[in-house]
Structure 1
């Protein structure tokens, strides 16, 4: 059955804003987008669902760890990243597959209530995590994570386990591969993960250049991560060789990691050369500024990414290191950071909202989400903003981010594949 979702303002994102607009949906696809009057005239018998507020594409979360939703107490530790990750490892050991499943379900519900309809989700424990994610119908890619692997453990069991997990994923959920970082995955293992993913036509999503300790490890093979890998009994080339003399981005590029099938989480410590490498290889960054702040990792150079037209999406990371799974709140924080870094162009609001929709879609290579246009998946979100009667199509981008920054926004509805799954 066809449904017309109408609102005072429609932001297709892939096209200009529409006042008194509407989106015509048939099943799980968008048929048309345009002025409400025109679509009603062409479809007089259609069932209409009239929303107040601003109607947008479903938001696209470019980086998350949904299984860590129940790790919320870790985001208030006030400890640097290398200390926080040790606490994370300790808490992980207390969880069962059933607990991972419950934690993931809670994260999925939080995302849907925030208007997020697609996610790049890092999955370390797929037995518990993948079934509820697949059942939810949320779009995006689940990336099977490889972590704490050196050449020995990889050859003994790690490689076979990855292949098994990729072969046994649930129907209805796209899978990818996530070699965690250059400090928890040996170089040869990292390269093999990339080769496996590309042989199977799967996308890749590593963490890159997140913290100063990572940069030190890759450059010189020293620092807290070298100490922890040695304590774990891992034999890593970068420790053995005294580092690579390179930044994390340049090191992974030397390994042949980067290409248009990759998007990289965080990308905080990226200088102009690093950013040029990412652009040249077609790699999107997934920026998670609130997580970086909590973990004392630094600030992503979002103003530089904007000025240089470097592609990026926006991620929430997990509740273990961020105050919420609300992507509009994350987008508002990123806008504030861009302004503090000197970005003054009047396209800022639009480009930040684009990053929360089209950016996440591009990061995962998805052409039918993060936009409202014929043929796209019927994923929609509706948001209220204060004094909505004074919001114009041209000011709607800024109004959304202003409300999120003030905590006065509300997701009135989330439509996933044509079905209303949340009403505010």
Structure 2
């Protein structure tokens, strides 16, 4: 199936930053075959199966979400004025009631909304495994297949409960052996390393204050033995810095480094409280960072030094983070937030609209190890793209379509294509019934809260 999208502005986000005021994108099946100015060349398109007149639109690569907790859709709006540790202390007992039905309903809603807001590829970090919860990780995988997004879930874990000096109550942690066994099963069951894969697993012990050093080391060894990527939270709050210095006599970055948790197969969420020396260490090791500006603001964690990280040569992507610390849960909104917080920290030249778009596309693709296939509109890359309508009232008079997308209101999504398949058209999710997703999510939230009150 050959599809031509033309008559639109195109931001390729390639290495040269190529843009076309009036251009085209052509894809055949799951791969892009042509991108350029003006109408598509008939010699390339032949008898195209579908020709889309995208006048008034901007085409970008699909957005790549590098950090999320889909199950948290069921606990949005809680602990509204807590910092991270207070927020977690409030929510851990609620999450004890998670099961595969609750997680499936929450994940499907979260994935549907990510699709509706321009995301074509998303990660997920699931680290709560109640003993009687069933296959909660499998529920997220099923939801991603239903909605049709490219999925990079990670099998999280916690084995450092409160009785051992950690933050989470003992009721929500696993034994070290159980966590490692569950991680092996997840890789065996779900990981697909083939080119063009729609599903790749990662290994993701949760954080320095919820995971033992032994599990961190063993998880890293397991991931490298199996050829999958590593992910964890790091340096999110000042409280975490205090915890690491009191427990391990070092900073969070030094702690990760000491455990073999820096490398070109690692990406770290947040990194709000890191200095220039840490940034240089990340860059030297190839470690990437998932920047989550809205969640960091919601929890009052601080503003990540994205400029310092990028200047050092660190690959940085954008993340929505869990829906309980970012109720908007829209990756396109993170482009706007990234610019605003960067300028609050570093002034008006700290980040441009195009810098933000790069973070959400090619930056995200680098962060999850898929830059050879995702993140820019170039022949040979996968047909994951977003078509934004920027000719309505909200953007009238803004002659720069990239500025309209990043600095203006969230545009309507004319089309979202994942692996060559149209998932959203004219702001309507095609792969799943939004009314059903809404009902399942509401039921999941009610069920979980009722269980927590028993």
Would the TM-score normalized by the shorter structure come out above 0.5? yes
Aligned partners of 1:154 and 1:189 also within 8 Å: no
Quote the offset at 1:7 in angstroms.
3.9
Question: Match for residue 371 of structure 1?
Answer: 376
**Counterpart residue number, 1:64:** 68
The aligned residue for residue 416 of structure 2 is 414
User: Are the aligned partners of 2:353 and 2:407 in contact in 1 as well (CA < 8 Å)?
Assistant: no
5+ long unaligned stretches in structure 2? 128-135, 165-172, 193-197, 428-454
Q: Name the Cα RMSD after superposition.
A: 2.2
Instruction: Compute the TM-score of the two structures, normalised by the length of structure 2.
Output: 0.82
Q: Superposition pairs for residues 67-78 of structure 1, below 5 Å?
A: 67-74=71-78, 77-78=80-81
Structure 2 residue aligned with 1:157: 178
- Between the aligned partners of 1:347 and 1:208, the Cα distance in structure 2 is 23
**Counterpart in 2 of 1:166?**
187
| Gap runs ≥5 in structure 1 | 222-243
Match of 1:23 among 22, 25, 49: 25
**Matching of residues 347-358 of structure 1 within 5 Å:** 348-358=352-362
Distance 1:408 1:57, change over 3 A: closer
Correspondence for 1:232: none
Q: Provide the residue aligned with 2:442 in structure 1.
A: none
Superposed, 1:145-224 pairs within 5 Å as: 145-149=156-160, 154-169=175-190, 172-221=198-247
Distance of 2:65 and 2:111 partners within structure 1? 11
1:85-96 matches, cutoff 5 A: 85-96=88-99
Quote the Cα distance in structure 2 between the aligned partners of 1:170 and 1:246. Answer: 34
Aligned to 1:36: 38
1:316 to 1:272, Cα distance in 2 relative to 1, 3 A: same
Of 93-102 and 151-160, more deviation after overlay is shown by 151-160
Equivalent-residue separation in structure 2 for 1:353 and 1:155 (angstroms): 39
Counterpart mapping for 1:257-336 below 5 A:
257-336=261-340
List aligned pairs for 1:335-346, cutoff 5 A: 335-345=339-349
Give a deviation string over 1:369-403, Cα, whole Å, max 9, x none: 111111111111111235667555xx332221111
Partner of 2:440: none
Q: Does 1:384 align with 2:389?
A: yes
Preserved contact between residue 7 and residue 55 of structure 1 (Cα < 8 Å): no
TM-score w.r.t. structure 1 length?
0.88
Alignment deviations for residues 324-368 of structure 1 (CA, whole Å, 9 cap, x no partner): 121121111110111112244486221111000001100110021
Alpha-carbon contact 2:32-2:380 (below 8 Å) kept: yes
Counterpart secondary structure, 1:174 = coil
The CA deviation at 1:218 is 0.4
Structure-2 change in CA distance of 1:381 and 1:251 (3 Å): same
1:160, distance to aligned residue in structure 2 (A): 2.1
- Compute the displacement of 1:306 (Å): 3.8
Could you tell me how far apart the structure 1 residues matched to 2:305 and 2:22 are?
37
| Residues in 1 aligned to 2:74 and 2:415: alpha-carbon distance in whole angstroms | 25
Q: Give the C-alpha shift of residue 416 in structure 1.
A: 1.3
Call closer, same or farther: CA 1:153–1:4 in 2, change over 3 Å: closer
* 1:129–1:37 Cα change, 3 Å: closer
Provide the C-alpha distance between the structure 2 equivalents of 1:136 and 1:176, rounded to a whole number of angstroms. Answer: 20
Aligned-pair CA distance for 1:194: 0.2
Preserved CA contact (<8 Å) 1:67 1:100: yes
Q: Within 5 Å, which residues of 2 pair with 1:247-262?
A: 247-262=251-266
Decide whether the 8 Å contact of 1:250 with 1:277 is kept in 2. Answer: no
Number of equivalent positions: 396
Report what 1:10 is aligned to: 10
Cα displacement (A) at 1:274: 1.2
Mapped contact 1:9–1:20 kept (Cα < 8 A) = yes
Q: What SS is found at the alignment partner of 2:231? A: coil
Residues 7 and 283 of structure 1, relative CA distance in 2, 3 Å threshold: farther
